[in-house]
Structure 1
């Protein structure tokens, strides 16, 4: 091999590796939900609710509910019941976030209030 071909090959390898790093990562090659569940789901039985917007790999909105018992179900995003469930879930999640923030503030105020106080000295004149 000639000395001039080595840098050329290294340059091509570098360009190929650089191009691979810039490639977008897709969620899947296809939609995750083949069919949707028509049954109602109670908000208390939910462990997690994920909503995926349409993408180049899947043209429809997908909502996947994970139950506390581990079962997963695809929900119909056009259903009124599912829209209510999503709103209830978002409200529940936002309340948990507020509680976490509020809990930190309460701890800080508790720690501030717990500072030892020195006894006041009487003024002597």
Structure 2
């Protein structure tokens, strides 16, 4: 059972071990997660789930990731 708002990643550490990838094929992205800094991980993490169910950490500073975040926020604003 998962409680909404509960961190479903490793307790006490960041999910992304390194800076992440700069680009993935947009047509392969199933889901985008933006995880804000927290007491257990002091950095913002951007994680994409691909249609193959593979999860990848995105480099939050890459232009492509910034574009993905902007598009996701625009989409949310329209709903």
TM-score (norm 1): 0.49
Unaligned runs of 5+ in 1: 1-24, 98-125
Write 1 or 2 for the structure with the bigger share of helix: 1
- Is 2:38 aligned against 1:55? yes
CA distance in 2, matches of 1:49, 1:94: 16
1:10-30 CA-to-partner distances (Å, cap 9, x unmatched) read xxxxxxxxxxxxxxx973211
Unaligned runs of 5+ in 2: none
Within the candidate set 49, 53, 68, 1:70 is matched to: 53
CA distance in 2, matches of 1:72, 1:92: 21
Structure of greater relative contact order (alpha carbons < 8 Å, 6+ residues apart): 2
CA distance in 2, matches of 1:56, 1:73: 22
Q: Report SS of the residue matched to 1:81.
A: helix
CA distance in 1, matches of 2:47, 2:53: 12
- Is 2:17 aligned against 1:34? yes
Give how far 1:42 is off. 3.0
Contact 1:43 1:88 in 2 (8 A): no
Which entry has the higher C-alpha Rg, 1 or 2? Answer: 1
TM-score (norm 2): 0.73
